[in-house]
Every structure is written in structure tokens, then in C-alpha cells.
């Protein structure tokens, strides 16, 4: 890669980190305004469970790109907040199945509109084609790493 391409790539990744930080900040502000004691990372777990409840920790870890130790910490905190529960897997006692509690399910009704608002703000003035190009770019970068480490 040329120096200019490397520099552009570095700037691109820095921009991506700024966007991720802005999104986390948006949600943190909503949590603070409504006295909700969770983190953005805990929200990632909840969002996955809102779509697919009753799965093992490894499936959640793979989906939200967290290592198992980090995920265990997040789930411990969600259990303390009574938003999820662990139950033993009837097929494999070593696995724990993570399910939403009633409170965890109800949290969706409160938080989902904020997620929609966050995406609407992020997408102001962005044509769908540009977003599609961005997705293609991320797919290409991911494939580069996958091919490199095969």
C-alpha cells in the first residue's frame, strides 16, 4: 500500500471510531436522562436477545464480537440488574442458556425508539447507495483479513 493509501485508511478507521463513540455517547445520554443503569455493551447483549432469546453465551459472544470473558462480565451485570437469567442447558450441563427476564423484555419498548432515532440522526443526508457502498467496503476489508489468516 502506498503511504497515501495507508494514511487514508488510518483516517478512515479513525473516523469509524469517532462514529462509534458518537453512537455510544448518544445512547449513554438517553440512559442517563431516563435513569437506566446499563452500558452500551450491555445494550448489545440485550438487542441480540430481543431478536433471538434463549441462546448460549458463545452464540451471543460470536454475534456481538466479544470474547467469552468479556461477555461473562456483561451477563453477570445484566443478571444483577434482573434483565437476563442463566439456566442450565438440558443437553449440555456445561452450557448456560441466557434468556431475557420480563424486565429485560420490557426494556425493549423503552429503548427501541432511541435506537431508531440514533440511526435517523446518523443517516441524515446520506443516500442509501452511499450506505450500500460502505457495507461493501466493510465486507471487502473483512474478507481481506479472513483470507490473510486462513
Q: What is the pLDDT of residue 141?
A: 92
Residue 89 is given by DSSP the state -
Interatomic CA distance for residues 31 and 73, integer angstroms: 20
pLDDT (tens digit per residue) in 36-74: 999 999 999 999 999 999 999 999 999 999 998 999 999
Contact 96/88 with Cβ under 8 angstroms? yes
Q: What is the pLDDT of residue 150?
A: 72
- Backbone dihedral region for residue 57 (phi beyond 0: left; psi -120 to 50: alpha; all else: beta): alpha
pLDDT (tens digit per residue) in 14-36: 999 999 999 999 999 999 999 99
Amino acid at each position: 500500500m502506498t503511504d497515501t493509501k495507508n494514511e487514508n485508511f488510518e483516517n478512515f478507521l479513525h473516523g469509524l471510531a469517532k462514529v462509534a463513540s458518537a453512537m455510544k455517547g448518544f445512547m449513554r445520554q438517553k440512559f442517563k436522562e431516563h435513569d437506566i443503569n446499563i452500558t452500551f455493551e450491555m445494550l448489545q447483549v440485550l438487542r441480540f436477545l430481543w431478536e433471538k432469546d434463549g441462546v448460549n453465551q458463545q452464540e451471543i459472544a460470536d454475534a456481538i464480537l466479544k470474547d467469552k470473558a468479556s461477555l461473562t462480565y456483561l451477563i453477570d451485570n445484566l443478571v444483577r440488574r434482573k434483565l437476563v437469567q442463566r439456566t442450565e442447558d438440558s443437553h449440555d450441563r456445561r452450557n448456560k442458556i441466557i434468556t431475557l427476564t420480563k424486565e429485560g423484555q420490557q426494556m425493549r419498548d423503552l429503548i427501541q425508539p432511541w435506537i431508531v432515532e440514533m440511526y435517523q440522526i446518523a443517516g441524515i443526508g446520506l443516500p442509501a447507495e452511499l450506505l450500500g457502498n460502505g457495507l461493501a467496503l466493510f465486507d471487502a476489508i473483512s474478507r481481506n483479513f479472513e483470507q490473510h489468516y486462513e
